[in-house]
Structure 1
Amino acid sequence: MIATGPARIGLIALLCLAGVLHDGVAQAGLAKPVIGKLPNGAISVVNTGPSRWVDTNGWKLVYERTVQPAEGEPGVLLRARKHGASAGGYLATIDFRNVAVRLYGPDGKFLRAIGRRGEGPGEYRVPFAAFFKDLYVYDPQLRRASVFTVDGKLVRTVATTANDQYPIHFDARGMMVLRASTFTRTQVTARWVYQTRTGQKLDSMVALGWLDAKSWKYVGGEGPSEWTIPFPPTNIEQLLPTGGAVIGRTDDYALVVTRTGTDTVRRFSRVNPPLVRIPEATRDSALQANVRQQPKLRGIARLEDVPTHYAPWRGVYLDASGNFWVHARTERSDRTRFDVYTPDGVLLGAVVAPIPAAATVNFHGDRLAVIDTDADDLPRIRIFRIDRRGK
């Protein structure tokens, strides 16, 4: 199935692209991806290095504006940790502690609060926000989505069946995509549920669960217990607008495109990615902090159990063209590096930006919203756009 029809055309185009990039004398530092097939027939793309540009000579992230009302002014960001953005430049922030949704205009100015805390019409308890023409404020606890216009008017309320405290997504068809879990005594099963904007359930796919990371075993007051070793890898899952997702675990630089959550359509990877060493003092400090928190780990937890390097990547995002931006580790805490891959999984090159490595990052089309703090430790949201005028 993978090697016929439109998929075969895509594979041929990918091979042609590789040939164009490396026809004649290859540029210094550039590498040709190795393209093959997995045992199930899925396409495999193995990258040994960038194929389009080296260092920071390619695409850029260009700063556009900052959303940061002054202290004491309406709409001050306070504890904004999540947000949604519209194609028109509107930005909705989520303040979980104060249970508030705030709307900002394309110029970054605060416009109004959207809804309020509660359980009545237009109210919410655990809000998540996303735009699809209007603003959808989704509450998994109340199992509904309240739909608002940008002038704050409540248009309608849509019943949902999902219950996980995860953000709301929209696919290219305008379907709501929500995460729901079912529980038994021994197992948790999670799925992504696709619903129409009127609440009709259409389909679902398997969602990733928690990664079973390495742990220390000890006997507590309630019997055998486990304690996760510091600096564990995590499972990462990014939904695709055309359906399915790209998934992976951060200690293995290999990502899989899946349609159902269990199959493999394409796998792309990077060989020998740059690794960042965890300072010895940081490892020891983390060990001692865990032992203080759980004294029964004394004599069980050992420094040699703690990883010597951070996982090579920490997240993946999509731009408007379907390129994958893999959030990679860097030596500098005040910089973020993205490894950019084509939709077919070919590594183009790296994009480095003056974004703190620990900042919250969200892509909205060809723009990137970053939540961090300024020099005075005050929260802000900075907007960057992708500039492809490089290689």
Structure 2
Amino acid sequence: MDWKSPVLLDEELTIGDPANDKEAELSRPFRLLVDDQGNIYVLDIQDGNIKKYAPDGKFVMTIGRKGQGPGELQGPMSIQMTPEKELLVDCVISSRLVYFTPEGAFLRETHLAKIPRALILADGLGDFICGFPESGQTFKEVLAKFGSDQEKRFRIAEVDPHYSEIYFPFAPGIIFNVTRENHIVWAFTDKYEIMFTDLQGQLIKRISRDFVPVEVTAAEKQDMINRQGPPEQGAKIPAVYPPLQSEFPTSDEAGRIFIKTYERAADGVSYFFDAFDASGRYVARIPLKQVRRVPIVWENDKLYTIEEDESGFNMVKRYRVAWRE
């Protein structure tokens, strides 16, 4: 296909290359956060801490450490900046939310006695948007909002993954995020339909797009089985991938939404992200090499990714972003 991207990406910074800076080396970077000043926070789930870097990439400090005590992190899975400018770390294994200042001081922690073990994002009202599994007569993946008192406010969406019928890497799930405009953006991975819900649970926008299914090759099927085990009895490996990958939708300061597909670029490594503007108009497809299940970050006309080099090291990359007219 003769295709020209409307987005120009110019690599300008690498963080975590052990050949350049041993102190800045990353073990297993899993989440990124960038503040208003351009400081970069990297959640390292192997080391159980947050590594802070200045805008020029220089290592500043380590925030938190692995453990179960006050200010310690056990099983951290996400990091975000709250509206109050506090660092919020979701420790899924220990069912805690741990708060720090951007300067690294421990503030407090909240034990999640009423919220299911979940992936949690704070919204602009001080409440929580949570994705979690729910067992009952049938197993479901659920997206719901809980208040700061941990009481459930409302359910946004649910889906039956049909694990008994579909090999679990292909099972339907829910991807979600909270945008800068404080909208909940979410989608079922087996449908190309992106929903925008306000913080009261009302649907305010819907984006849909036709897509060409991507075939699952025999080599890819075997690779999945080698890495994740064979399908359960009766479960099938589909002939094609679902339209959307199980990764966070992300947004930039212009209100664009980016969502990851299974379409590969010509290099065989990068996947295409579809981009939509604030009105929901499809505007671009962008090939990126980001590590699987590690969200990208768009901030102040910069793109931040975590990528793997030829030796298997994971490093943070920053690109200057320019959109063609």
TM-score range, shorter chain: 0.7 to 0.9
TM-score by length of 1: 0.66
Question: Could you tell me which residue of structure 2 aligns to residue 250 of structure 1?
Answer: 189
Q: How many angstroms apart in 2 are the aligned matches of 1:283 and 1:180?
A: 28
Question: Could you tell me which residue of structure 2 aligns to residue 320 of structure 1?
Answer: 253
Deviates more, 1:111-120 or 1:373-382: 111-120
Question: Could you tell me which residue of structure 1 aligns to residue 119 of structure 2?
Answer: 166
Q: In structure 2, do the counterparts of structure 1 residues 176 and 363 end up closer, same or farther at CA, with 3 Å as the change threshold?
A: farther
Q: In structure 2, do the counterparts of structure 1 residues 170 and 64 end up closer, same or farther at CA, with 3 Å as the change threshold?
A: farther
Q: How many residues align?
A: 311
Do residues 347 (structure 1) and 282 (structure 2) align? Answer: yes
Q: In structure 2, do the counterparts of structure 1 residues 351 and 260 end up closer, same or farther at CA, with 3 Å as the change threshold?
A: same
Give, in angstroms, the shift of residue 374 of structure 1: 0.9
Question: Could you tell me which residue of structure 1 aligns to residue 164 of structure 2?
Answer: 215
Pick aligned residue for 2:170 from 231, 236, 246: 231
TM-score by length of 2: 0.78
Cα RMSD between the aligned structures?
3.6
Do residues 274 (structure 1) and 274 (structure 2) align? Answer: no
1:38-187 alignment runs, 5 A limit: 55-70=3-18, 73-127=22-76, 128-132=78-82, 133-139=85-91, 141=94, 143-150=96-103, 152-154=104-106, 156-157=107-108, 159=110, 161=112, 162-171=115-124, 175=126, 177=128, 179=130, 186=137
Give, in angstroms, the shift of residue 356 of structure 1: 4.9
Asked whether the 8 Å contact 1:336–1:352 carries over to 2, the reply is yes
How much identity, in percent, do the aligned residues show? 18
Cα distance per residue 1:329-367 (max 9 Å; x no partner): 3233322322221222111232334x2574723224343
Give, in angstroms, the shift of residue 106 of structure 1: 1.4
Q: Which amino acid aligns with 2:283?
A: L
Q: Which amino acid aligns with 2:81?
A: F
Pick aligned residue for 1:310 from 221, 229, 241: 241
Pick aligned residue for 1:336 from 254, 268, 271: 271
Pick aligned residue for 1:193 from 136, 141, 146: 146
Structure 1 or 2, whichever has the larger Rg, is 1
Give, in angstroms, the shift of residue 77 of structure 1: 0.3
Q: In structure 2, do the counterparts of structure 1 residues 104 and 284 end up closer, same or farther at CA, with 3 Å as the change threshold?
A: closer
Cα distance per residue 1:156-184 (max 9 Å; x no partner): 2153644534254453x6x3635376967
Give, in angstroms, the shift of residue 65 of structure 1: 0.9
Asked whether the 8 Å contact 1:94–1:102 carries over to 2, the reply is yes
Question: Could you tell me which residue of structure 1 aligns to residue 322 of structure 2?
Answer: 387
Structure 1: gaps (5+ residues): 1-53, 217-226
Q: Which amino acid aligns with 1:143?
A: R
* Equivalent position SS for 1:320: coil
Q: How many angstroms apart in 1 are the aligned matches of 2:206 and 2:180?
A: 18
Do residues 368 (structure 1) and 303 (structure 2) align? Answer: yes
Q: In structure 2, do the counterparts of structure 1 residues 169 and 230 end up closer, same or farther at CA, with 3 Å as the change threshold?
A: closer
Give, in angstroms, the shift of residue 138 of structure 1: 4.2
Q: Which amino acid aligns with 1:344?
A: S
Q: Which amino acid aligns with 1:334?
A: V
* Equivalent position SS for 1:329: strand
Q: In structure 2, do the counterparts of structure 1 residues 330 and 157 end up closer, same or farther at CA, with 3 Å as the change threshold?
A: same
Give, in angstroms, the shift of residue 381 of structure 1: 0.9
Cα distance per residue 1:247-277 (max 9 Å; x no partner): 2222321222223686533222112x23322
